[in-house]
Amino acid sequence: MDRRAHPVLQAGIQRLFQEHPAIWAFSIDAKGELALDCWPRESASDELSAQVMQRLLELVDGEAEAAAWLFGRTFARVLH
């Protein structure tokens, strides 16, 4: 599959990083488990993980291809 961001997800993932400045990166493994990388590390709470997962579920609702595209990927904040 194409390495570029899936069009359904691109804007939503960018918003997620904007709304949660503590998140530096996150990944979703092949089983669908979420791992957050935050600064400071203490900000990677269960509550934040649940918020991120809920947002991702909303983004892929009804979009099977977009959901499948998430698995096994890491997303990182872009600094300019």
For 6-54, the pLDDT digits (tens) are 887 888 999 999 999 999 999 999 999 999 999 988 888 999 999 999 9
- Whether 12 maps to a domain, the answer reads yes
3 pLDDT more than 80: no
Q: Residue 1 in contact with residue 9, Cβ under 8 Å?
A: no
Name the domain count of the chain.
1
- Whether 44 maps to a domain, the answer reads yes
- Whether 63 maps to a domain, the answer reads yes
- Whether 53 maps to a domain, the answer reads yes
Domain coverage including residue 18: 7-73
Whole-number Å distance between alpha carbons of 43 and 60: 25
73-76 and 23-28 as β-strands: parallel, antiparallel, unpaired? antiparallel
Whole-number Å distance between alpha carbons of 8 and 60: 8
- Whether 80 maps to a domain, the answer reads no
Residue ranges of E strands in 1-80: 23-28, 34-38, 73-76
Which amino acid makes up residue 44? A
- Whether 79 maps to a domain, the answer reads no
